[in-house]
Structure 1
Amino acid sequence: MRIRSLGTQFAIPCVAVGLILSGCSSDNDVTPGTSTIGSTNDINAHDVADLRDGGNLRLVLSSFPESFNYLQVDGGTDSTGDVIEPTLPVAYTSNAAGELAINHDYFTDIQLTGTNPQQVTYTINPKAVWTDGTPITWEDMRSQAAALSGRDTTYLMTATSGFERVEKVERGVDDRQAIVTFSQPYAEWQGQFSPLYPKATTESAAAFNDRDRNGLAVSAGPFQIGAIDRGQNRITLTRNPAWWGATPKLDTITFSVLDSSAWLPAIQNNELDIAYMSGIENVTGAKQAVGVVLRRTPEPSWSHITFNGAPGSLLEDPQVRIAISKAIDRQGIVNASQNGVVDDPKPLNNHIFMKGQKGYQDNSAPISFDPTAAAKMLDDLGWKLNGDVREKNGRRLEIRDVMYQQDAWVQTAQIVQQNLAQIGVKLNIQTVPGSGLFKDVIDPGNFELAQFSWGGSYLPLGALPQIYAYDPNNLQSNKARIGSPELNALIDRTIAELDPEKARELANQCDQMIFEEGYSIPLHQASGTYAARADLANYGAFGLATADYTKVGFVK
C-alpha cells in the first residue's frame, strides 16, 4: 500500500494500490473528491504534545517483501518501501506542496557547490550512526554511488538514480563529508541517497543482491526491524535505541500482509489503523465504520497497462500495440472505476507528470479511442480475422493479461477483454498472488499485457531513465522491454537539463515518443482516499509529503 513518497526519485511498482474498483451505488453520503495533485494534505496534524506516549501503528502490506534492499530489483516495490521508510536515511524531505528540505537528522548541510562540472557537497550529521554503532560516513555514499553506477551489471538494481552520471565521490574535510562530482549534469540530484544503505550492503554485487534479502542487517532510522514473522505474514518495527533524533511517540509499527479484500473488514473491526480505500462501496463502508474517518489527498500514483514488446514477442510491433491501445475505452474504464469517488473522472494522459504537477499536458493522441481505426490498422498489418480471432503467419492474436489477484484489477481486465473482442483480439485474464507477480511473472517477461500501478514522487523525471530508457543488458524497471536509441538520447538530454522549465519541455517530448512507441496505456491517477482511525495523528493522506515518524502517534 503506497501512501507517500519515500524521498527517492524512482517510481515503485505497486500490485494493490487499491486504485480501482467499480461501483455505482447512489445510496451513500460520500462527496466525490479530486484526483488532481495539489499543495495540501490530510494527516490530522497535531503538535507532539497532544499525543500520548507509546502505541502501535498497524499498517497493511499487499505482499511480503521479496528483499529488504529497496535499491535491488526484487526489493524495489511498495511493500519494501513502506517497511524500510522509518528505518533508513534519506537526504531530503518534502512538504505537501512538493517543496524540498534537507533532512537534518542525517545531513547538517547539502550544497550544490559547482555546475561545471556539477558538484554536490554533503555534510553528514556527526551524531548519525548505524544500528551497530558505526558512524555513517562518506564511504557509505561512495559505495552506493558505485553500486548504482551501472558499470557492473551483476548489481541487479531497480534504477541507477543518476549515479551513472557520477564521476567520483571523495572524502571532504573529514569522514563526515562527501563530495560528489558528476561527469554529466543530473537534474534531479536531490533525489539521490534516498534511501542510503551501509557500505556493507553495496560494496559487492553479492551483498547488494542478497545481504538484506531476509531482513535489514543494519539500519539508521527512528525505528528498526524488531521481528519478521513469515508464518503470520507480519513485520514489527521497534524503536531504535541508537537513534539520536527526537524520540518517537510510537513504541512499535506493525505491518500485516492482507489480501486487498480484507482491508475494509480490518478497518471496520479495528484491526488496522489506516488503509487505502478504492471504489464507492469501500469508501462508503469505511466512512460508516465506528471511530474511522476518511482522509484524502491526491498522490502521484497511477494505474496502467504495460505491453511486453520484447524482441520476438507477439506484440513486438509497435503498430500492433498502438492498434490494441486505440481499441481500449480508457474513459469507460475510468468512469467504472472512480464513479462516486472522483468528481468528473478523466484518464491520465501523460507517463511522466500527474494532473496538477507542473509539466502535465495531454500527449495521448496516438492512443485515442477509435475501434474502427484500430481494426483497420490490424488489417493493414496483415492480422486477418479467422472466425473471432485474428491470425498472421500461423499465430493467433491471443494475449494474456496478468495482474494482482484483486477484483478491482479483474474488473478492469474484463472491460479490456470486451473492447478487444470487438476487433478480433482475444484476451485471457491471469491473476497472480502479490508475492510472485513481479519476481516470477512480470520481471521475467512472462506476459503480453500487465496491469499494475506506479507509485511516484515529487521528482518525476527519474522515471524516464528508470522505466522508459532501454538497455537490453540492464533493464532496470523497463518491464516492457520497449525503447529506442532515439528515446534514450532524448532522455539523456532531459535529465541533464538543470533549467526546470526546459527539462519539463524535454520530458513531454519524451512522453510523446513513449506514446508513439506503444509502451503502455495510462488509466488514471490515485485519488488518495484512506480510512484512518480518528485519533491517528500526523499520518494519513500525504500527497507529495514525506512522513515524520517521530511525530506519528495517537491523540491523548
Structure 2
Amino acid sequence: MRIRSLAPRLAISLLAVGVLLSGCSNTEEEAPQGAAAELGTSSDINPHDVSDLRDGGNLRLALSALPQNWNTLHTDADGEAGGLARPMMPRAFTTDSAGNLTVNPDYFTSVELTKADPQQVTYTINPKAVWSDGSPITWEDIRSQAQAMSGADEAYLIKMTFGFDRVATVERGVDDRQAVITFKEHYADWKGQFAGEASLYPKSVTGTAEAFNKSLVDEIKLTAGPFTLKSVDRAQNRVVLGRNPLWWGATPKLDTITFSVLDSAALIPALQNNEIDAVGIGSRDDMKTARGTAGIAIRRAAGSSWTHVTFNGAPGSILADPGLRVALSQAIDRQGIATAIQNGLVENPKPLNNHVFVAGQTGYRDNSLAFDPAAAAAALDRLGWKLNGDTREKDGRKLVIRDVMYNDDTWIQIAQIIQQNFAAVGVKLDIVTKPGKGYFTDVIKPGDFDIAHWAWSSDVFVLKNLPQVYRLDGGSIEGNYGRIGSPEINDLIDQALSELDPAKAIELANRIDRKVFELGHSLPLTQSAGNVAVRANLANYGAPGLASYDYTKIGFLK
C-alpha cells in the first residue's frame, strides 16, 4: 500500500513468513493477551537500554525469496527488498508507535517546511553522513532522486512517484549539504518523500534510467546505514549484512543480520531448531507450537499490512464490466474469511473495511459494500449471466474465474472460501497457485489473472499510495495491476494530495475509498494480526506496529 498507505510495497514476504493457516476452531481461547489492541497504541519489541545488551551477535531472519531488484523504488521491488534495505539506507524521519514523526538525526539535522506558497521544504544533511565508499551524501543525491521519481522519463520503472511529480525544482542550499525542494503543486505527504517506504539512494543509482533499473538487480552497492551488505550466497540462498565500518552514528550491538530463504512450511521448524530468531504467527497451531518452544516469546502490535482480492478489469478480460466485479464483491463473505484466518489469533476477528486506512489509524471508517449473496445473484441475472446447471453463462461463455495466488496454505484457504461463496451464486472459481519467485514480475504485472491475492504493506504516509494503486492514466498502471480506475477517482486523488489540511485530506481519502468499492477495483480482506514469535532474549525487536526500528539498538540481552 503500499498504504502501503499503503505504503505500498508489495508484501508477499509478510504472508510467506507470517500468515500460515492450519486447523481453525470456533473458540478464541488461544488469542494472545492484548490481541484486541489497535494499531497506533502499542509497539511490542521488548524494549531495553543498550547497556542491557551484549556486544555482538547474529540476528537470523527469513525470506521467501531473494529480491528481484534491490532498488526499493523500482517497480520490481517487493517486501523482501524493503526488509533488507532498512538497516542499510537513509530515511529522513523515524516513527513511534502512535505514528508521530521525528527527524532522523543520523542523516538530517533538520527537515522543515520553510514556505507554504509555493510549498518549499529544506533538507539539511548531517555533515557526517557518507555513502559506504566514503563519498558525502549531498543535495545532488536528493535532486537526482527527485528527477528519477518524477515520472517525467518513463524509462525509469518507478514503483510510485512519492510526490516528486509535483516538484518544480531541487536546488542547492547554503552548501552541498542542504537541498531546497520547491513544489509546483502542494503535496500533502511531503514528509514521506525520503521516509517510510522511501529511502534515499545515491545519484549513481538514480542518475540514469539504466542504472535505476538494472544496477541493483543482483545486489545493493552503495549504502549508508549502520549495516551494509557483507555477502550474497545464491547457492545457499542467504544474505548477510555486517556493520558498516564508516558508520558515524551509534555503534550497532549486533555484528550481523542474516537472511535465509525458507519455504513457508519450514519457518516454525526453523524457529524450533534455533535456526532463526523471529517469525510471524498466522495460525492457532503455529501459535501453540511457538508457545511451547523453550526460549520463545509471543509479541504483538497490530500490523499495518493487509490482505486483499484484486480484480482484473483490463479491456477484454472477463471482469471488464464493473457491474460484474461489484456483484462478485458482494458475493464474498469477508467476515467468514476473517473468522477462518484469524480466529484464535485476535480476540474478535473483523474484516478490513477500507482501502486507504487500517483499523486504528486516524481516518479509518467502514466504507465497504455489504456481503449480500442475494443481491449479487440478482445483479448477475440483470447483467445477463443466467444459470445453466451449476454455472452461469452469457453469450455462450461460462462464468469461470481464475483465482491466482502465491502457493501458501493461507491463500489457498481464502480461495476455497471464495470458491464456496461463488458457487452459491452460480460462479465457478478455479484456484491457480504460483511460486513466490517471479510472482509479481511474471504473473501480476502482466495481468495473468482474473482475480489475485497478495498483501499490501503500509506506513504512516497513506496518501502517497493513492495514485500508485487507484489511479489509471492511459497505459500507465504503476501498482494498479487490475487496470481499473475512473476520471472521478483520479480527480479526487489529485485533490487529496493537494490538501494540506489533514482533516480535509482524510475526508477526501474516504470518498476515494467508497468510489473504489463502488467500481469493484479490489476488496480488502484482513489486517495483519501482528503476532510474532521471537527469541525471548532478543531486545528492541518484534512487533513494532507503526514504529520504525533503531537497528543500532537491536540485540541480545546479557
- Which deviates the most, 448-457 or 257-266? 257-266
Secondary structure, aligned partner of 2:152: coil
CA–CA separation in structure 1 for the residues paired with 2:298 and 2:491: 44
Residues 27 and 393 of structure 1: CA distance in aligned 2, closer, same or farther (over 3 Å): closer
**8 A contact 2:3–2:462 mirrored in 1:** no
The answer to whether the Cα contact below 8 Å between 2:123 and 2:179 also exists between their aligned partners in 1 is yes
Secondary structure at the aligned position of 2:279 is classed as strand
Mapping of residues 190-229 of structure 1, within 5 Å: 190-193=191-194, 194-229=198-233
CA RMSD, Structure 1 to Structure 2 (Å): 1.7
Quote the Cα distance in structure 2 between the aligned partners of 1:522 and 1:252.
37
Q: Please name the residue that 1:444 is paired with.
A: 446
Residues in 1 aligned to 2:417 and 2:514: alpha-carbon distance in whole angstroms: 26
For residue 13 of structure 1, what is the aligned residue in structure 2? 10
Residues 406, 454 of structure 2: 8 Å contact kept: yes
**What is the deviation of 1:14?**
1.6
CA distance in 1 between partners of 2:227 and 2:381 (Å)? 59
Structure 1 residues 8 and 220: alpha-carbon distance in aligned structure 2, compared to 1, 3 A threshold: farther
- How far does the alpha carbon of each residue in 1:20-49 deviate from its partner, in whole angstroms, 9 at most, with x for none? 625335697553612631322110101101
Q: Match of 1:345?
A: 349
Are the counterparts in 2 of residues 22 and 338 from structure 1 also a CA contact under 8 Å?
A: no
Cross-structure match for 1:380 = 382
The residue number in structure 2 matching 1:458 is 460
Aligned to 1:496: 498
Would you identify which runs of 4 or more consecutive aligned residues in structure 1 move more than 6 Å? 5-9
Determine if contact 2:3/2:463 at 8 Å carries over to the other structure: no
Q: Which one of 256, 278, 293 corresponds to residue 297 of structure 2?
A: 293
Distance 2:31 2:381 in 1: 46
Distance 1:9 1:192 in 2: 14
SS at 2:401 equivalent: strand
CA contact (8 A) 2:20 2:264 kept: no
Do 1:7 and 1:195's aligned partners in 2 also have CA atoms closer than 8 Å? no
* d(CA) in 2 for partners of 1:161, 1:275: 30
How far apart, in 1, do the equivalents of 2:475 and 2:321 lie? 21
User: SS at the partner of 2:219?
Assistant: coil
Residues 474-489 of structure 1: matches in 2 within 5 Å?
474-489=476-491
Residue 552 of structure 2 is matched in structure 1 by 550
Q: For 1:83-122, what aligned pairs fall within 5 Å after superposition?
A: 83-122=84-123
Q: Which amino acid aligns with 1:86?
A: P
Deviations 1:67-124 (A, max 9, x none): 000000111x110000010000001010111100001100011110011000000000
Q: Within 2, Cα distance between the matches of 1:472 and 1:411?
A: 35
Deviations 1:297-319 (A, max 9, x none): 00211111111111111101111
**Equivalent AA in structure 2 for residue 284 of structure 1:** K
Aligned to 1:36: 38
Amino acid corresponding to residue 348 of structure 2 in structure 1: D
Instruction: Map 1:144-163 onto structure 2 (within 5 A).
Output: 144-163=145-164
Q: Which residue is 1:182 aligned to?
A: 183
C-alpha change, 1:479 and 1:451, in structure 2 (3 Å) is same
SS of equivalent to 1:460: coil
Per-residue displacement from partner, 1:160-183 (whole Å, max 9, x unpaired)?
010000011000011100000000
Which one-letter code corresponds to 1:169 in the other structure? Answer: V
Q: Residues 113 and 122 of structure 2 are in contact (CA less than 8 Å); yes or no, is this contact kept in structure 1? A: yes
Deviates more, 1:41-50 or 1:29-38: 29-38
The match for 2:134 is 133
What's the CA shift for 1:395? 2.2
Residues 7 and 546, structure 1, Cα contact 8 Å, conserved in 2: no
Shift of the 57–262 alpha-carbon distance from structure 1 to 2, 3 Å rule, reads: same
CA drift of 1:435 comes to: 1.4
5+ unaligned residues in a row in structure 2: which ranges?
Answer: none
Q: In the superposition, relative to structure 1, how do residues 433 and 200 fare at CA in structure 2: closer, same or farther (>3 Å)?
A: same
Inter-CA distance 106–464: structure 2 relative to 1 (3 Å threshold): same
Whole-angstrom CA distance in 2 between matches of 1:134 and 1:473: 39
Aligned-residue identity in percent: 56
Distance 2:448 2:6 in 1: 27
Residue identity matched to 2:351: P
Aligned amino acid, residue 132 of structure 2 = T
Q: CA deviation at 1:262?
A: 1.3
SS in structure 2 at match of 1:319:
helix
2:367 paired with 1:333? no
Cα shift at 1:63 = 2.0
Q: TM-score, normalised by structure 2?
A: 0.96
Contact 1:28 1:284 in 2 (8 A): no
Work out whether residues 10 and 161 of structure 1, in 8 Å CA contact, stay in contact via their aligned partners in 2: no
SS at 2:141's partner residue? helix
Cα drift, residue 9 of structure 1: 7.0
Using the alignment, how far apart are the partners of 1:329 and 1:291 within structure 2? 39
1:316 paired with 2:313, answer: no
Shift of 1:145: 0.4
Alignment of 1:59-98 (within 5 A): 59-75=61-77, 77-98=78-99
Cα distance in 1, alignment partners of residues 5 and 175 from structure 2: 26
Q: How many aligned residue pairs are there? A: 550
SS of 1:524's partner is strand
Task: Kindly provide the CA deviation profile for residues 346-382 of structure 1, in whole angstroms up to 9, marking residues without a partner as x.
Answer: 11110001111111111003xx111111111111111
Instruction: Please state how far the C-alpha of 1:257 moved relative to its aligned partner.
Output: 1.2
Q: Secondary structure at the match of 2:463?
A: helix
Q: Say which is worse superposed, 190-199 or 34-43, in terms of deviation.
A: 34-43
Q: Which residue is 1:51 aligned to? A: 53
- Residue identity matched to 1:119: Q
1:474 CA drift (Å) = 2.5
Conserved? CA contact 2:351–2:526, under 8 Å: yes
TM alignment of 1:229-268, pairs within 5 A: 229-268=233-272
Aligned-partner residue type, residue 7 of structure 2: F
Instruction: Write the distance in 2 (CA, Å) between the matches of 1:30 and 1:427.
Output: 32
1: CA distance between counterparts of 2:234 and 2:158?
25
Q: TM-score, normalised by structure 1?
A: 0.96
Task: Flag the 1:518–1:245 CA change in 2: closer, same or farther, 3 A.
Answer: same
Structure 2 residue 356 is matched with structure 1 residue 359: no
Q: Matched residue of 2:464: which SS?
A: helix
Letter in 2 for 1:87: M
Counterpart position of 1:170: 171
CA distance in 2, matches of 1:302, 1:507: 18
Offset at residue 472 of structure 1 (A): 3.3
| C-alpha deviation, 1:259, in angstroms | 1.4
Name the CA distance, whole Å, in 2 between partners of 1:376 and 1:484: 25
